[in-house]
Amino acid sequence: MNLEFTQEELDFQKSIRAWMRENVPEALERVSALGNMPTKSQQQQWERCLGKQGWLALTWPEQYGGPGWTATQRYIFDIERAMAGAPPTSPFGVAMVGPVIYTFGSPEQKERWLPGITSGETLWCQGYSEPNAGSDLASLKTRAERKQDHYLVNGQKIWTTQAHWADMMFCLVRTDPEAKKQQGISFLLIDMKTPGIEIRPIYSIDGHHHLNEVYFTDVEVPLENLVGQEGMGWTIAKFLLTHERTTIAGVADSYYALARMKQAIEDVPYYTDKPSARRRMAELEVELMALEYTNFRTVAATDEGKPFGPESSGLKIKGTELQQKMSQAMVEMGGLMSLAWDSPMEVGNESFNNAPRRYNFLRACTIYGGSNEIQKNVLAKMLLGL
């Protein structure tokens, strides 16, 4: 494997870096610098801006609106995006339901839904988990009964990220309660403004509202919103989960977090133990480089047209563990400055003041996208043959 970028790739990097410098809004950069989450309008404005360039659906085939980049170019783009202080793209449209629609959808569904995703106009959320169906997703109970010209949906989803932002939900529902668990599930696209949908917020430990419960009471969903065939939901869900995990290692955003950490230490003139802080940061950087090189292996394989397999589980485990470790280091290095996280006053240094918010949120990253214990089961089964 050749790890040097070609001249063409270096030119590409230069042009992306220049574009980011011109186009990442200052307010957004500041949100990232403090380790916070953008508002809905900040996120959507940014995604529309990328959409105008044709840079939103990076992995998609060109015929559906992808830019036609190699995996290496996408990697370069992601690093430049993160280091410029721009947030990652919301995964639900571009990384999840989009590939499902262009792979399993009808021509009418492709025409109706894909343009809203590539332009950043339509926001999506993922309706998979239920109170008794998380890791054991196939136990889901939300029922969709087929009526003459619609499905009648009743049930409840939980932990639905950005349901309160979303125009549409892609949802796993049970269409055949008599069939074996996995076989009775179907994949529906649901307009979030349909009567009978109630969204209740869940405030998480970082103090923010990302998550929701979503209740369905006699919600009528047109039959044409079924993707694939009835009973095909499990096949589609498995296809989609691999896509979800490819983006979850978060190498680029971890490099950004590391750069902010270094900056915060340098910005505090009275920080007394810089040598041990630097040692700790160097250790984290070495771990991050190891993750990056593992990621390079998958980038190289993708460029050669090989499919993304169970190694995505390894990237998810290592990437999320490292995100947690880094956020913990930031809080510990901030010491007393990190105790001020819910205070309106700056105490010493803003980055350290905000560090506990990110630390608290990132407790969840080893759970969402399929918990790390489940990923270890996947590796044991698929790679080790246990």
Ligand X SMILES: Cc1cc2nc3c(=O)[nH]c(=O)nc-3n(C[C@H](O)[C@H](O)[C@H](O)COP(=O)(O)OP(=O)(O)OC[C@H]3O[C@@H](n4cnc5c(N)ncnc54)[C@H](O)[C@@H]3O)c2cc1C
Tokens 């947030």: give the residue: 87
CA distance 177 to 141: 8
* Under 8 Å between Cβ of 204 and 225: no
For ligand X, give the closer residue by CB, 135 or 217: 135
Shortest Å, Cβ 175 to ligand X: 18
**Smallest distance from the beta carbon of 364 to ligand X, in angstroms?**
4
- We find the least distance from the C-beta atom of residue 227 to ligand X, in angstroms, to be 16
- Output 76 or 101, the one with its CB closest to ligand X: 101
Residue 141 near residue 193 (C-beta atoms within 8 A): no
Q: Which residue is nearest to ligand X (CB)?
A: 134
Residue labelled with tokens 């109970």 = 141
Would you say 281 or 364 has its CB closer to ligand X? 364
For ligand X, the closer of residues 16 and 97 by Cβ is 97
- CB 230 to ligand X: min, Å: 21
Q: For ligand X, which is the closer residue by CB, 35 or 127?
A: 127
Burial zone of 213 (CB within 10 Å; 0-12 exposed, 13-18 middle, 19+ buried) = middle
Residue 274, classed as helix, strand or coil, is: helix
CA distance 229 to 105: 10
- To the nearest whole angstrom, how small is the minimum distance from the Cβ of residue 372 to ligand X? 7
- Which H or E run contains 150? strand 150-157
Quickly list DSSP for 122-140.
S-EEEE--BTTBSSSGGG-
* Shortest distance, position 120 Cβ to ligand X, whole Å: 18
Residues that bind ligand X (CB under 6 A): 125-129, 134-135, 159-161, 211, 364, 367-368, 370-371, 373-374, 377
Choice between 174 and 280, CB closer to ligand X: 174
Q: How far apart are CA 85 and CA 81, in angstroms?
A: 7
How far apart (Å, rounded) are the C-alpha atoms in residues 30 and 101? 35
Closer Cβ to ligand X, 23 or 324, answer by number: 324
**Closest CB 368 distance from ligand X, rounded Å:** 4
If the CB atoms of residues 112 and 363 are measured against ligand X, the closer one turns out to be 363
Q: Residue 90 phi/psi, 5° resolution?
A: -60, 130
Judged by beta carbon, residue 12 or residue 170, the one nearer ligand X is 170
For residue 90, CA distances in Å to 37, 93, 271 come to 11, 7, 36
Task: Supply the minimum distance, in Å, between the C-beta of residue 369 and ligand X.
Answer: 7
Tell me the C-alpha distance between 230 and 346, whole Å. Answer: 55
Rounded least distance, CB 72 to ligand X, Å: 30
| Helix locations, the chain, DSSP H | 7-23, 26-33, 40-53, 71-83, 91, 98-104, 107-118, 233-246, 251-267, 274-303, 311-334, 350-361, 372-382
Specify the pairing of strand 124-127 against strand 168-174. parallel
Task: Spell out the residues 6+ positions from residue 252 whose beta carbon is closer than 8 angstroms to its own.
Answer: 78, 79, 81, 82, 83, 88
Helices 350-361 & 311-334, crossing angle to 10 degrees? 140
H-run or E-run covering 209:
strand 209-222
Question: Judged by CB, which is closer to ligand X: 65, or 134?
Answer: 134
Which residue, among 95, 74, 88, has the nearest Cα to 43 in the 3D structure?
Answer: 88
Q: How far is the CB of 70 from ligand X (least distance, A)?
A: 30
